[in-house]
């Protein structure tokens, strides 16, 4: 079975500061890993995905994530937070890209001016 | 792009009525569509997976007769909540996976907020 743990249900950063959202996964097979962003009352938008190629994955809006097998982690980072980054972020894992996704509980990012 | 349209975005109805939610892939053919449910301040839970032309596969604990899923074409899947009750109130989100080879991620609709009075 697969599972995802997102440490910190709420993260608050100042505008311009580093964003770090943590995600640890559990999977019995090599995983596919995803980060999605959700704005209020909207669906999910794919930020980036890891599919066993490069371990450092670059996504949209300046976000990137690094797959670390030894730590079973896939943390999301952005060097400089922008007000528009305030949203809820979900980490997800699947056995195959595009197949059944198992989501973490989500992390709400707040950006202070 | 890969646009998924979900309709309606919001519906309010009386207890006992049935509600149909549509999920359309606008610019690609979706061999597989997924239906998720999201409770307030919680994550998404997969309800079922539907492949075009075949019966949906429901996750454990999801009532098949309560949540009817139809995937009649490569661009349309529908979720019908039958005889809805207040406990069915939730945010329902669909996603669609493009057909073909290679890595194909899921593309999500904007969700439907269902409120049963």
Mean pLDDT of A46-74: 93
How far is Cα of residue B11 from the mean position of the Cα atoms in its chain? 14
Do A90 and B107 make contact, defined as CB atoms within 8 angstroms? no
Is 60 exceeded by the pLDDT of residue B101? no
Read off the tokens for A70: 């030894």
Q: Which two tokens stand for residue B90?
A: 């939730």
Question: What residue of A is the nearest CA neighbor of B48?
Answer: A100
Report yes or no: A22 and A109 within 8 Å, Cβ to Cβ: no
Residues 87-116 of B with CB under 8 A from A: 91, 93, 95, 97-98, 103-111, 113
Q: What is the C-alpha to C-alpha distance for residues A55 and A103, in angstroms, rounded to an integer?
A: 20
- Residue B6 structure tokens: 């979900």
Peptide bond preceding B87 in cis form (omega within 30 of 0): no
CA distance B5 to B3: 6
pLDDT digits (tens, 9 = 90+) for B69-87: 998 888 999 999 999 999 9
Task: Retrieve residue B116's tokens.
Answer: 């049963």
The pLDDT tens digits of the residues spanning B2-33 come to 789 999 999 999 999 999 999 999 988 888 99
Are B108 and A43 within 8 A, CB to CB?
yes
Residue A103: its chain B contacts at CB < 8 A?
Answer: 43-45
pLDDT of amino acid B100: 63
The two three-digit tokens of residue B22, written as one number: 């549509």
């Amino acid at each position: 079975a697969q599972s995802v743990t997102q440490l910190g249900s709420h993260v608050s950063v100042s505008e311009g500061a580093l964003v770090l959202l943590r995600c640890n996964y559990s999977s019995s097979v090599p995983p596919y890993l995803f980060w999605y962003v959700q704005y209020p009352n909207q669906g999910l938008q794919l930020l980036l995905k890891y599919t066993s190629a490069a371990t450092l994955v670059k996504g949209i809006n300046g976000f990137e994530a690094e797959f670390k097998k030894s730590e079973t982690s896939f943390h999301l980072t952005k060097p400089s937070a922008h007000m528009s980054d305030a949203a809820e972020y979900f980490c997800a894992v699947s056995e195959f890209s595009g197949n059944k996704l198992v989501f973490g509980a989500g992390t709400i990012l707040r950006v202070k001016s | 792009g890969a646009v998924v349209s979900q309709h309606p975005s919001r519906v309010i109805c009386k207890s006992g009525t049935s509600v149909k939610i549509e999920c359309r892939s606008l610019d690609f053919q979706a061999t597989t569509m997924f239906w998720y449910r999201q409770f307030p301040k919680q994550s998404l839970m997969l309800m079922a997976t539907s492949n075009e032309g075949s019966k949906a596969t429901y996750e454990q604990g999801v009532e098949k007769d309560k949540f009817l899923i139809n995937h009649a074409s490569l661009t349309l899947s529908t979720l019908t909540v039958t005889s809805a009750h207040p406990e069915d109130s939730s945010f329902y989100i669909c996603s669609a996976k493009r057909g073909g080879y290679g890595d194909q991620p899921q593309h999500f609709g904007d969700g439907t907020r269902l409120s049963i009075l």
